[in-house]
A and B are shown apart, each in its own frame.
Chain A
Amino acid sequence: QVQVVQSGAELKKPGASVKISCKASGYTFTANYMHWVRQAPGQGLEWMGWLNPNTGGTNYAQKFQGRVTMTRETSVSTAYMELTSLRSDDTAVYYCARGGDYKEFLQHWGQGTLVTVSS
């Protein structure tokens, strides 16, 4: 069965960077896009962008352009999301989610990674 497992919670200081991993199993890693979505405490869902694990191509929401980098390591079926210049309002649960087989609805979600930004 498809599984997407994320790395654990992070505590970072303002200005620092965080890199979250998302390990996929149960399907061909390069066959589906991987998306990243975040959710601030008590707030809604915010789409950050996608990664094409086959080519390494990316598409970022404009809000995060210049601060986010999505990469992958195909040998271990893992996608990564790095966010730099962290601010307090980056405190959120970050999710990776696998796209569908032919369209980019978010079919399989990771469990979420809490990133807390605090001095």
Chain B
Amino acid sequence: EIVLTQSPGTLSLSPGERATLSCRASQSVDSTYLAWYQQKPGQAPRLLIYDATNRATGIPDRFSGSGSGTDFTLTISRLEPEDFAVYYCQHYDSSPFTFGPGTKVDI
């Protein structure tokens, strides 16, 4: 089973600042089968990034994903007020398709 670790646990930033979120896998994730999701309180998660670097439909270009192998990054170039949420990474390389524990981005 691939275990995902996210850091930091909480990121305290202000609107307009850059956010850098890390996701590390316990073993190499093949073919960049990694996604990022955003979840706001009381809502279902929303797909942001798939295949490590591809933005999902309708996702603003201030969100970007990078990385390969065991180290992946989600970057939010300039935080908007609506970006304060919890972010999860997930791999879909091999079952089980585990999630990381999440990073909370707050003000």
A contact residues vs B (CB 8 Å cutoff):
35, 37, 44-47, 49-50, 59, 61-62, 95, 97, 100, 103-107, 109-112
**What residue of chain A has the Cβ atom nearest to residue B47's Cβ?**
A107
B11 → chain A closest CB, angstroms: 16
**9 more A-B contacts (CB under 8 A) besides A61-B95, A107-B47?**
A44-B100, A46-B99, A47-B98, A61-B96, A95-B45, A105-B92, A106-B45, A107-B56, A109-B44
Flag if A103 contacts B92 (CB, 8 Å): yes
Flag if A45 contacts B50 (CB, 8 Å): no
B contact residues vs A (CB 8 Å cutoff):
33, 35, 37, 39, 44-47, 50-51, 56, 88, 90, 92, 95-102
Counted as pairs of residues, one from A and one from B, with CB atoms less than 8 Å apart, the total is: 61
A95 → chain B closest CB, angstroms: 6
The answer to whether A104 and B92 touch (CB under 8 A), given A109-B44, A111-B44, A112-B44, is yes
A97: which B residues are within 8 A, CB to CB?
45
B93 → chain A closest CB, angstroms: 9
**What residue of chain B has the Cβ atom nearest to residue A93's Cβ?**
B44
A74 → chain B closest CB, angstroms: 23
A44: which B residues are within 8 A, CB to CB?
88, 99-102
Report Cα–Cα, A103/B47, bound state, in Å.
13
B88 → chain A closest CB, angstroms: 6
B79 → chain A closest CB, angstroms: 22
Flag if B88 contacts A45 (CB, 8 Å): yes
Flag if B97 contacts A103 (CB, 8 Å): no
B69 → chain A closest CB, angstroms: 17
Report Cα–Cα, A110/B95, bound state, in Å.
21
Report Cα–Cα, A88/B37, bound state, in Å.
27
